[in-house]
Amino acid sequence: MSNKENFYQNLIEKIGKDQILKDEPLANHTSFKVGGPAYYVVLPKTVDEVIYTIKTCKEHDMPFYVIGRGSNLLVSDDGYEGTIIKISGDFSDVSIEPFSIEQDTHLVRAQAGISLDKLADIIARAGLVGFEFAAGIPGTLGGAVTMNAGAYGGEIKDCIYRVTALDKDCNAIQLDLDELELGYRTSIIQKEGYIVLEAEFVFESGDTEEIFDKINDLNNRRKEKQPLEYPSAGSTFKRPVGYYAGKLIMDSGLQGYTIGGAQVSTKHCGFIINTGDATAKDIYELIGHIKAVVEEKFGVVLEQEVKMLGKF
């Protein structure tokens, strides 16, 4: 029996076959809608299943990579020679309880696989203020905490209270705000390779109608300014100090620039979009071209926000 098959047999001892996808195209699991197959995609439903999968990977020298909705990820056309652990829809419980009666605040506890859209809606319906900015951000809570996601003046670090994560030895650890080292698109989670299991937030009560008015306003602004009708990974590059990546790209004459099926959006130059038949190679080459042109014209080195997985 091959190592791959032995690995698979060990996995199904604890995890149902319907939660393990074999030779699964990762185009089905990324917002770019590109990417070749992984050996396996595991869809855990519990913390124990996450831990078991990781330990089984290690025991069989099986490379593994953890994703949520793949909204900030470019996977090679050749795929990934390993196992993807996808913490998403089945890992999305939420609870809300009083935190401080005097200050009228509530503690929201949510599992890492919940989408930010769904969590923002739950928080808004509970009449709690402070998570409106996240309503239109693609991806899951786990990814958002890992990269301190933010938009329209709000960031995860503004409202987070505590995180439960797995360290590299699969020990569950708790990290308070001051231990998370949340900065611009970074955190201790990212630096140390931890895996977010759940996060807790503290929010004040507010007016539900006003909260939804703000969410609707932000979503309308997104629709006007961002190419939401095309597959993308959101902002391709981090914001350089003193600049805006999208403006640098536009001022470099790259608006609408295309390689294969990948294009610099004509609506927002900070986005690379899949116009319908892009390959990962198209997107990868376009990223490289953009970086080279912007550096040549402005002397600014763009740092990509999108993660790469596989061989390019």
Could you give the residue numbers annotated as active site? 185, 235, 305
Angle between helices 208-225 and 116-125 (to 10 degrees): 150
d(CA 149, CA 196): 14
- In the chain, which ranges are E strands? 20-25, 37-42, 64-67, 73-75, 80-86, 94-100, 105-111, 128-129, 150-151, 154-155, 160-166, 172-176, 195-205, 232-235, 258-259, 262-264, 271-274, 307-309
Burial 224-260 (b: 16+ CB within 10 A, else e): eebbbebbbbbbbbbbeeeeebbebbbebebbebebe
Task: List all residues 6 or more positions away from 168 whose beta carbon is below 8 Å from its beta carbon.
Answer: 192, 193, 194
